[in-house]
Amino acid sequence: MGSISLQHVKKSFGEVQIIPDISLDIKDGEFVVFVGPSGCGKSTLLRLIAGLEDTTSGTILLDGQDMTKAPPARRGLAMVFQSYALYPHMTVRDNIAFPLKMAKAPKEVIDQKVEYAARTLNLSSYLDRRPRALSGGQRQRVAIGRAIVREPKAFLFDEPLSNLDAALRVNMRLEITELHQQLKTTMIYVTHDQVEAMTMADRIVVLNAGNVEQFGSPLDLYKKPANRFVAGFIGSPRMNFVDGPEAAKHNAHSIGVRPEHFKLSRDPLANAWKGKVGVAEQLGSDTFLHVHVEGLGLMTIRTDGDQTFSHGDDVYLMPDPTRIYRFDAAGIAL
């Protein structure tokens, strides 16, 4: 079991309020991702759940039990750090066994669990090495191994993949997702990579300046962003925003159109926005066009990779009328 519930959790460092007031309910077995810009308080929130920091006020319930004041060792959670935080003086085996030793598990149980974790994570041939002699991906796996042997109520990951190269990240992403499907344990995963967020999460928490902007499934966030911040944050490339008279036509303070929701043409279209191509980024599968639209500014357009555009081409843009997001003056979705 591993449900996590935050009730009016607040956190200040001295005078600075980092988390004004957060309430969240995370269900048992869920994979929840915290995303948000750098410095928005993702790690702080995770550390509050872990017990590595005190809440200034509010309550943290694990499985319905009040754990607000419990030390990390007693919360039954496992954490995987961005820096891996392996014990450099211990072999891989001892690293993985450490939590079990702390729990005073009998030796046979320890051996058996370490073997099992090593097999699951493809670490069997490295058990007698020191962390120093491992690659980044292997270290990450050891850190995960150390987390799983405890059979924790929940796993907490703080940007575990950000030190790995792109290819390895994709691999590890899949491995962690698979691990979740296998263990069905609650996981909270902090990242600022929205691809990770979209692909791994059951539900995503979008944080901004210590506030929850929206909490929902990835597709919910994509399709029904609660506000301009979420709309801009989820989706890549970013949503294009337009305000002023063009927005007023839609009875909104501002409107947003995702790069993939345009009809693009070289020939004039009725009611379309006219622009000039600035930079064309050709990825092969897709092409991203940065178009200077008269009176509206720079827009990003996604189109298929077969089309070739070059700098200075005239283009006409037509937003898909069913997929225009409308926001009021406070940025709330209408």
Partner 1 sequence: MATAQTRTLSRIMMAPAVIVLLIWMIVPLVMTLWFSFQNYSLINPMMTGFAGWANYIYVLGDPSFTQSLVNTLILVGGVLAITVIGGTFLALLLDQPIWGQGILRIIVISPFFVMPPVAALIWKNGFMHPGYGVLAHLFEFFGLEPVDWFNQYPLFSVVIIVAWQWLPFATLILLTALQSLSEEQREAAEMDGANAINRFYHIILPHMARSITIVILIQTIFLLGIFAEIRVTTGGGPGYASTNIAFLVFRTGILSNDIGAGSAGGVVAVVIANIVAFFLMRAVGKNLDA
Partner 2 sequence: MARNVSTGTKIGFTFAAWAIALLLFSPILWVLLTAFKTEAEAIANSPTFLPQNFTLENFSAVQDRSDYVKHATNSILVSVGSTLLGLAIGIPAAWAMAFAPTKRTKDVLMWMLSTKMMPAVGVLIPIYLIFRDLRLLDTVHGLTLIMTVINLPIIIWMLYTYFKEIPVDILEAARMDGAELYNEIVHVLVPMAVPGIASTLLLNVILAWNEAFWSITLTSGRAGTLTAFISSFSSPQGLFLAKLSAASLLAIAPILLMGWFSQKQLVRGLTFGAVK
- Residue 103, Cβ neighbours under 10 Å: how many? 12
86 or 296: whose CB is closer to partner 2? 86
Nearest to 331 by CA among 220, 235, 256, 237: 256
Read off the tokens for 48.
Answer: 């509050």
Tokens 């590890």 belong to 172
Closest approach, Cβ 71 to partner 1, in A, equals: 5
64 or 71: whose CB is closer to ligand ATP? 71
Among residues 5, 44, 214, 287, the one that binds ligand ATP under rule CB under 6 A: 44
Residue 71 contacts which entry, partner 1, Mg ion, ligand ATP, none (Cβ below 5-8 A, type-dependent): partner 1
Among residues 25, 27, 39, 219, the one that binds ligand ATP under rule CB under 6 A: 39
Write the DSSP symbol of residue 126: G
- Residue 281, Cβ neighbours under 10 Å: how many? 12
**Residues 78 and 145 sit within 8 Å (Cβ to Cβ):** no
To the nearest 10°, the Cα dihedral for 259, 261, 267, 271?
Answer: -110
**Span interacting with ligand ATP, options 41-49, 118-126, 246-254, 271-279, rule CB under 6 A:** 41-49
Closest approach, Cβ 43 to ligand ATP, in A, equals: 3
- Per CB under 8 A, 72 contacts partner 2: yes
Closest approach, Cβ 270 to partner 2, in A, equals: 60
- Per CB under 6 A, 192 contacts ligand ATP: yes
- Residue 100, Cβ neighbours under 10 Å: how many? 21
As to burial, measured by CB atoms within 10 angstroms (0-12 exposed, 13-18 middle, 19+ buried), residue 270 is exposed
- Per CB under 8 A, 288 contacts partner 2: no
Closest approach, Cβ 247 to ligand ATP, in A, equals: 31
Closest approach, Cβ 223 to partner 2, in A, equals: 36
DSSP-assigned beta bridge partners for residue 293: 275, 297
**Amino acid making up residue 306:** D
Chain positions contacting partner 2, by CB under 8 A: 50-52, 71-73, 77-79, 81, 83, 85-90, 98-99, 102-103, 146, 150
